[in-house]
A = this chain, B = another copy of it.
Amino acid sequence: MPRRGAPSDAPQDIENLGTAVVDCGLYEDGKRRGGRIDLETALKQASECTDGFVWIGLHDPSPEILEKVAEHFELHPLAVEDAVHAHQRAKLDMYGESMFLVLKTARYVDHDELIEIGEVMIFVGQRFVVSVRHGEGSPLGEVRKELEAHSDLLSLGPSSVVYAIADRIVDDYALVLEGIEVDIEEVEAEVFSGAGTNPAERIYKLKREILEFRRAVSPLVTPMQRLSDHQAGLPIDPRTRDYFRDILDHLVRDSDRIQNFSEILTGVLQANLAQLGMRYNQDLRKLSAWVAIIAVPTMIAGIYGMNFDHMPELHWRYGYPLVLGVTLLICVALYRSFKRTGWL
């Protein structure tokens, strides 16, 4: 049953109210009216305006702010709860007239070879868009600026905001994939370089990141399909259909690449194991060959170290150098034969 947000560490949250509300704007006929407005004004204008719409942008908001916005737009408590708690799957839900869209943002932190997964939730009604961003991925300030520069798009209403945000987020997936591709190529080069290092942990962690990334990306396909097929009942302008299909195309391509990377990393892991195994085997064989070579003079020396009364060779004038020479010859012959068969 619906869990309410933790009730009243409110004072602290109210201080953060300024940073949580990133931007609010009223848009009419594809143009922004009145510049940056505060949350109160935005809520008021949203109920008054008959033609345009209001876009409220929140970033890691406190439950209090969300509750306030939710109350004003009559958002469904289950959706609001999802928006507070984050860690949702990408999805598109209709609650009465208003649409609730969850998207996962992704950012590649090259230094740690980590994919940072964040979230953007969008509430869409006839006269409002509320975007709630969690985490650092895909900042929406730029999206707003770019969109404001395309009044043709903006004039399509809230749908254009949904498109602009989703487009940006999916474009950022491609950046993540490029980052990963570079790392995979590095790892491949390392595996086949013969340098003798063991990048097993690195490969394992890349694979794990890929799995996480796939889990973030793949559930988005269904919502994008619904938006681009323009299923009845969504508050989406039919003219944005081609745009959402474009996002879907990119998304599917990204999914393909993720799948591909996953299989490649499995292959790299096996290849790494194989290469390392081979190298260790070769090392061991090499050492064994040397031990075998040394065993021969040891054996011969042992024989001439025996204390028999009658060992004629011991009394030969050149017995010692002869034996040394023969032993050396045998060792050289062994060495050559090992060299020839590739053991040394």
CB distance from A313 to the nearest CB of B (A): 8
Q: What's the Cα separation between A212 and B260 when bound, in Å?
A: 8
CB-defined contacts of A147 to chain B, threshold 8 Å: 1
Question: Are B280 and A285 neighbours in the complex by a CB distance under 8 Å?
Answer: yes
Given contact pairs A147-B1, A249-B89, A274-B200, A306 touches B292 in the complex (Cβ within 8 A): no
A232 within 8 A of B: no
Question: Are B305 and A311 neighbours in the complex by a CB distance under 8 Å?
Answer: no
Contact of A150 among B1, B291, B294, B324 (CB under 8 A): B1
Question: Are B153 and A1 neighbours in the complex by a CB distance under 8 Å?
Answer: yes
A93 within 8 A of B: yes
CB distance from A197 to the nearest CB of B (A): 9
Q: How large is the interface on A (under 10, 10 to 19, 20 to 34, 35 or more residues)?
A: 35 or more
**Per-residue CB proximity of A255-273 to B under 8 Å, as 1/0?**
0110010011001111111
Question: Are A298 and B302 neighbours in the complex by a CB distance under 8 Å?
Answer: yes
Question: Are A253 and B299 neighbours in the complex by a CB distance under 8 Å?
Answer: no
Given contact pairs A253-B89, A294-B299, A278 touches B198 in the complex (Cβ within 8 A): yes
CB-defined contacts of A36 to chain B, threshold 8 Å: none
CB-defined contacts of A167 to chain B, threshold 8 Å: 1
CB-defined contacts of A305 to chain B, threshold 8 Å: 301-302, 305-307
